[in-house]
Amino acid sequence: MGRTSKRIFEPCCYHVTHRCQERRFLLRFEKDRANYRSRLREAVQRYDVEVLNYVVTSNHVHLLLWAKKAPDVSCAMHFLQGNSARDFNRRKRREGAFWNGRYHATVIQGGTHLAKCLFYIDLNMVRAGVCRHPFEWEACGYHELAGKRQRYRIINLNRLLNCLACDSTDAFEQWYQLTLTDKLSSVYHAREPWWSEAAAVGDAEWLGRLIPGLESGAMEEIAMDDDMILPNGVAETGVGYAVNMNTREQKNFWKSLGN
């Protein structure tokens, strides 16, 4: 039986992924990755969205965003993808598409699910075998989250702490470094497709409120760390779920978030 809970109309976290045209390495040069970060900083100044984490790779980007409404994400991404593509085409004196169609956004529940997604983004270049630690990759949020970059910051750390129910920057930085070190100690870093392909990720109750009428069979159980402790010292337990949708369902779901 479908759920009848009232839909959530509140600020949400979004994991946005966007690939370059034909998965080409159009962002392979640091100057283009730096330009993208500059445009990202400009986007959050113009629109009501905030960045919680990010990584700009050689052929795609991951953005962890917070917004009061889904249309705010759409406006910011329209500005970001349009201007970054024009900048690149102008510099290279080229024409044609830069991005591979529309970006994909996954709505993420705060707390443990957000923390898991945060570190999934951090480990992107490690999974790809490009580096052994995020600090070796300049175009990522690690340098801000670890307190190593103070100028030209993009991430809103206060917002991230709020989403993680943490009220201390020092406690967060200690938790962040210890948790990241623990995750880096693993020999194998598996790709977790639900963060980039699902419509939403969270626990069953939250998903039921986000998507009224959602059938339990539409939720796919995902792997969650049993020992994930948040920076406030609380160990959140429970099972995580991902909701997958086809293109049409995803489009209707996204529209519903803006109503």
Both tokens of residue 230? 């948040």
User: What was the pLDDT predicted at 134?
Assistant: 96
Query: Does the reported pTM lie above 0.95?
Result: no
Domains of the chain: 12-257 (3.30.70.1290)
Q: Which residues of 210-221 are buried (b: 16+ CB within 10 A; e: fewer)?
A: bbeebeeebbee
User: What was the pLDDT predicted at 3?
Assistant: 42
Local structure of residue 8 (DSSP, 8 states): P
CA–CA distance, 28 with 33 (Å, rounded to integer)? 8
Q: How buried is 147 (Cβ within 10 angstroms: 0-12 exposed, 13-18 middle, 19+ buried)?
A: middle
User: Contact 52/163 with Cβ under 8 angstroms?
Assistant: yes
User: What was the pLDDT predicted at 48?
Assistant: 96
User: Contact 257/69 with Cβ under 8 angstroms?
Assistant: yes
User: Contact 112/236 with Cβ under 8 angstroms?
Assistant: yes
Consecutive 10-residue runs of the chain (259 residues): their mean pLDDT?
Answer: 52 96 94 97 97 98 96 96 95 92 94 94 95 96 91 94 93 94 85 93 93 87 75 72 91 80
CA–CA distance, 145 with 178 (Å, rounded to integer)? 13
Secondary structure class of 52 (helix, strand, coil): strand
Of 170, 135, 136, 141, whose CA–CA distance to 153 is shortest? 141
Beta bridge partners, 242, equal 201, 220
User: What was the pLDDT predicted at 1?
Assistant: 36
Sign of CA pseudo-dihedral 217, 16, 190, 231 = negative
